Structure 1
Amino acid sequence: MPRCEFCSRSFGSQEALDQHTQNSPAHAPSYDCELCNRSFGSQEALDQHTQNSPAHAPSYDCELCNRSFGSQEALDQHTQNSPAHAPSYDCELCNRSFGSQEALNQHTQNSPAHAPSYDCELCNRSFSTQEALDQHTQNSPAHAPSYDCDLCNRSFSTQEALDQHTQDSPAHFQLPETPLNTFFQSFSDFTFDPDIPPNESYLALQRFYGWHRGDEESNQAWNNFQRALIEEFKLWFGAEDDLGSWHSLCRALRIEPLPRTCLDCEKAVRGLYVNIVDLIAWARNGGGEDQVRLFHSLEELREYTKRTRKIFRNNLDETGNSNVVLRHLLRFIFQGN
């Protein structure tokens, strides 16, 4: 028996069921309005409702002020005329707003707060033009070029002044690497003056460190000083077979005319009495017109050597040094020296 699925009624034939479905109000098609939950019997009725109902009128919303309008024209008119929607031209430097780009440009040009600033990085001053900054840089003493001496932390206004300082200052004088200079400069705390005789430099060194005779440190320094004297003599007066070195020695000892051979030089100096420390000092000072003092006898040389403390130790045999020049000049000043 045919049955209606919607209302669970049964009919004696299919025709009766179809007639029921067509004619029963419960089975009439429904056209629903989703916006307001109302139903209509036809599509035409639903369309008429949608067009005429104020609830379904299109809405044109202003996102800036949350107002709604019935047409696009009304929304556009609102956007153009409302002060809240007028374009704003903001000055980022002073947080002011202007109604047009022209007004913002005029503000930027005329406002002192926006005038270009030309800053001097050295003294933190600002100037209104590049020319003013350049003039300041040229004329200000604070910006004068400085020529610095790295060794003594002094500054000079010109390169010439710095060069002159470097040449003339004793602090920048580079000592030649001679044995005596090396010896004295090995004491970093001691101020060494190469222009004074070696014996005076050693006495100053002894006083500076407070050495006493017999101290281990004093003995070691004295031995090193004596070795430096030997090497210094060899530096200035060379080897025994060097005629030029022999002639340097002969000039210091006022031997004229200069002998022609090394052997003749050896014979000429053999009987002379001279203090070897004086010879070294004469050579270190450039071997000028001041000549080395000669003594008439060994006793006179001994008295001078002891009084001035210009001691050159006579121990060539112990050291194995066979320098013939030294052998002919050395004298025994102290017993066992």
Structure 2
Amino acid sequence: MAYCERCQRWFGSERALQQHEENSSMHHLCDSCDRDFVSEHALIQHYVQSTRHHYCQRCDEHYSSQGNLDSHFESSHYWCPACNMFFKNDNGLHEHRRQKHWYCIECKRVYQSESNLRAHQRSSVHQQANIPCVDTRCNRKFVSVSALALHLESGTCPSRLTRAQINRLVARYDTNNVITDPARLIQGPNGYSTLQRTVTAWATERSWNGSAYECFLCHKMYTTLAVLNQHLASPAHDDKIYRCPRAYSGCGETFRALSALCQHVESEQCGIRRFNHSMRNVLADLSTGMARLTF
């Protein structure tokens, strides 16, 4: 004999009790959790709240993972994942994002921070590339000075400039040390023109430690020798010779590459470009000044 406490009834076998629980309106079973709920509403709330279930209440459908459920929400419902809110239509979702999030109205994309949104708005998606390369043999144009600096630092410009050469040229041009830190430079006969670290480092097969290729400077591990040498060729171990100028209401943060300083100023993270008119033209002056230098 088997007894149903909720219904206060006896059944001839456990199988009969099971059939009763499956068919009776007094029982609402969650088979995967082996739980019985007093109402359909309670069962649905269990589906919604339990981390073991990936359930869409609007469609009354279960999904195999949270990722699949999120994909369903995005494709079939007007859902804001950051707020976990649903809206009646696309206009409602659009207005919510416009008011509550860092949101590009034209692209209908949400960004994680204000700086990320500003970077997107300054990109070629929204800005014209009207800053020409400082080398007349190069016909490329860029949307920002930081993009131009990255181009020059990459070594792909016909000028064949290297990052070390750019650093020396900027140090020579920045005679008042507005954006360079004299403490990180060596004074020569023509002023601060020689950097403390100009040696090029590269790794060989001897950097293999038995399980990975190891950087001898920071001891980070890399799966291939090529990736390790990319790391060594990057600014990762350069001196931080650039600084956000405090004299222009900057924050004084330091950087290893000119492009990193340019990105910092353009991002307006410390407000230097937004609140000080003199600093607004520093990057533009720098690009035109570099064009006058002898490569």
Report 1 or 2 for greater relative contact order, CA contacts < 8 Å, sequence distance ≥ 6. Answer: 2
TM over 0.5: no
TMscore range, shorter length: under 0.3
**Per residue, is there more strand in 1 or in 2?**
2
**Per residue, is there more helix in 1 or in 2?**
1
Larger radius of gyration: 1
